[in-house]
Amino acid sequence: MQKLGHTRNGSAHDHFLLTPETFVRAPLPGMRNATAIVHAAPANGAAFTAYTVEFETGGAMQAGAAQMFLYVLQGFVTVDQTTLSPGQYAYLPPAGTTPIAAHGAARALVIEKMHANLTGETPDAFTGDEQAVDALPLDAESDIEVRHLLPSDTTFDFAVNTLTYPPGAALPMVESHIMEHGLLMLEGGGIYRLGERWYPVRAGDFIWMAPFCAQWFGAIGKVPAKYIIYKDWNRHPLNG
């Protein structure tokens, strides 16, 4: 059915929402039998990149100049020697040459950020499994579960968390903070307040929030809503 130019996408100076019917695929340098859907990059105001990689059988890509966080969405992705399944992830430090490959069709979310080195050290590469990460309550009253996928020590200059909302749960406050966000909806849906607008969102949607973008989410529906969210972290506002 022709949508007659309609999309749920929306944007303002401090945020954008990108919905799957508008995604355009193109390979990035170093990709073979794989394409990227770039969601966030300096071109649209973000200080990081976020893209979904879609691998065909035999697909491959490489880590590059920036730090890379890779979270498997579907299928199996091998990072160096470790094969990761959905919910498993890898952190790769900057200036790496780690090979990343998929033997069958697979999809992964990739986040890249230039490392703001504070301590003279860069983190080591590691792989993890979201299921093995403790689920913490967002706050004392909340039944929203947060999983911190990266360590919190100051060698890391960004955080990636998953938030899971039971149906009807909502952020306890409208947040406004210096950290920038990139967010991929993984399951369920609800209403996202971004700046002065409210958007219906569901699994597959991507959101960028600039520093100090007013933000609030309420989960609607019969199943939990879950998203994975990036933020810059652990650095002084005048220093990276």
Cβ neighbours for 79, distance < 8 A, ≥ 6 positions apart = 70, 90, 92, 98, 99, 100, 127
> On the CB side of 76, how many CA atoms lie within 13 Å of its CA?
9
Contact residue for ligand UGY among 182, 215, 219, 225 (CB under 6 A): 215
Contacting ligand UGY within 125-164 (CB under 6 A): 163
Contact residue for Mn ion among 80, 130, 175, 187 (CB under 5 A): 175
Contact residue for ligand UGY among 80, 130, 175, 187 (CB under 6 A): 175
- In the complex, the smallest distance separating the C-beta of residue 137 from ligand UGY, rounded to whole angstroms, is 12
- In the complex, the smallest distance separating the C-beta of residue 179 from ligand UGY, rounded to whole angstroms, is 6
Q: Answer yes or no whether residue 187 interacts with ligand UGY by CB under 6 A.
A: no
Contact residue for ligand UGY among 184, 190, 229, 232 (CB under 6 A): 229
Binding partner of residue 163 among Mn ion, ligand UGY, none, CB under 5 to 8 Å per kind?
Answer: ligand UGY
Binding interface with Mn ion (CB under 5 A): 175
